[in-house]
Each structure stands twice: as C-alpha cells, then as structure tokens.
Chains A and B, each alone.
Chain A
Amino acid sequence: AQSVAQPEDQVNVAEGNPLTVKCTYSVSGNPYLFWYVQYPNRGLQFLLKYITGDNLVKGSYGFEAEFNKSQTSFHLKKPSALVSDSALYFCAVRVNAGNNRKLIWGLGTSLAVNP
C-alpha cells in the first residue's frame, strides 16, 4: 500500500541548533514529495517540494529537504532553528488515483524550538 510515515510525533530542539523532521514514503513509481507547515489555528502552508533533479531541495523560511531514493526518505532540515519555527509539519506524497492524482499525508510532527 502507498503510504507516508512521519516516525516522530514531536521533535524538540534548542534555538540555534540544527533541526531534522523525518519522513519516509512507500509509493510506486517516481515520487512527488512535499512538506507543509501549519501554525496554530491556521491552514497549511507549502514549504518545498521534490519532483526531479537535485536531491537537496531548498524552500521557504530557510528550510531544505533531502531526497534519498535508496532509503525512501525526504527529511526536512534547517541549519539553525528559530523559536518561530515551532509548528506542525506535514510530509505528503502524490499518488495515482484513477485518472487523477491525490496527496497522501503523514500524520504530522510537532516541532518545538526552545529559547
């Protein structure tokens, strides 16, 4: 079955330290992978995506993600965390749905950046 997993419900990191939010996937064919962020009481916002090309993808707010085909992973990273990065992060993968496509979502990882 096609799926996305975010193995950590919560990640805690000190401000200024690097952060990693993990995502692994299981899909047939070449994956289209996405990261979204949700701040409290807000809708989701797009951060970055991998379609093809360079395995390191750069996105909004200084985030980047590394696509690793052999490990079927797409981990989100940031070199230096900010308190304002505290939010809920979702990984998603595009899958086939009949003649169309849809996104399958991970359950989310809550990131807490401590001052």
Chain B
Amino acid sequence: NAGVTQTPKFQVLKTGQSMTLQCAQDMNHEYMSWYRQDPGMGLRLIHYSVGAGITDQGEVPNGYNVSRSTTEDFPLRLLSAAPSQTSVYFCASSWSGTGGYEQYFGPGTRLTVT
C-alpha cells in the first residue's frame, strides 16, 4: 500500500492564482480530512469528508473548497490564493470519523503564496 499520497510536495503561487492540492489513499478509508499547519498554531482542520459525496467544514474553511467523488480521492482547491494561505497542508485518512481510529497522514504540501 502507498498509504496517503499528496501532490505536489512544494508549490509557489502568486496572489489570486488558483490551484488544487491532490490527496489520495489506497486503504479504503471512509474518513478523509485536510489540515493546515502553521508555526505556533498546531494543526487546524480545513474540511473533512465522512464518505464519497459527503463533505463538511472544519474550523478554517474560508478560501478552500473540497469534493469527494470517490473513496480514494479528496482534492483541496484554493480558489484565489492569498498570502495568509502560506502554510504546510496535510491530508489524512482513517477508517471512520466516529470510532477511535487513528489517522494516517500524507507527507504534506508546502505552499507559498507571494
């Protein structure tokens, strides 16, 4: 199993540009989520999904869109990049959002918005 994969590893955007961060998992996990990690802020949940076709907002959803058309994929879209979105983004998956299941994390995407 590849686990959770994320592409790209690094990205530089100009303010106002859009892009999609890709996330895929091959463990047949129901639950997938996107976090951003900023110094001194810990991990903050952006969006999550409890299954194909079902998504919901986390604590910092503004400026980001998600969709979940398949169990495997959970892309994160930045509609109009802003310098405040400079961060490291992690995708994670687990068996379920309701049980005490551990999350599996991807390697992260380091995004810089200039």
Contact B45 A43 (CB under 8 A): no
Q: Which of B41, B48, B108 contacts A102 (CB 8 A)?
A: B48
Whether the Cβ atoms of A100 and B105 lie closer than 8 Å is: no
Q: Is the CB of B56 within 8 A of A43?
A: no
Residue of A32, A49, A100 with most partner-chain B CB within 10 A = A100
A108 to B103, CA, bound (A): 17
Would A46 and B97 count as touching, CB distance under 8 A? no
Q: Is the CB of B43 within 8 A of A46?
A: no
76-97 of chain B: CB within 8 A of chain A: 90, 92, 97
Q: B42–A43 contact, CB under 8 A? A: no
Contact between chains at B42 and A108 (CB < 8 Å):
yes
What are the residues of chain B within 8 A of A46 when measuring CB–CB?
102-104
The contact sample of 24 A-B pairs, CB cut-off 8 A, is A36-B103, A41-B108, A43-B4, A43-B90, A43-B92, A43-B106, A43-B108, A44-B43, A44-B92, A45-B105, A46-B102, A46-B103, A46-B104, A51-B100, A97-B56, A98-B56, A100-B50, A101-B97, A102-B45, A103-B103, A105-B43, A105-B44, A106-B42, A107-B42
Chain B residues near A (Cβ < 8 Å): 4, 33, 40-45, 48, 50, 56, 58, 90, 92, 97-98, 100, 102-108
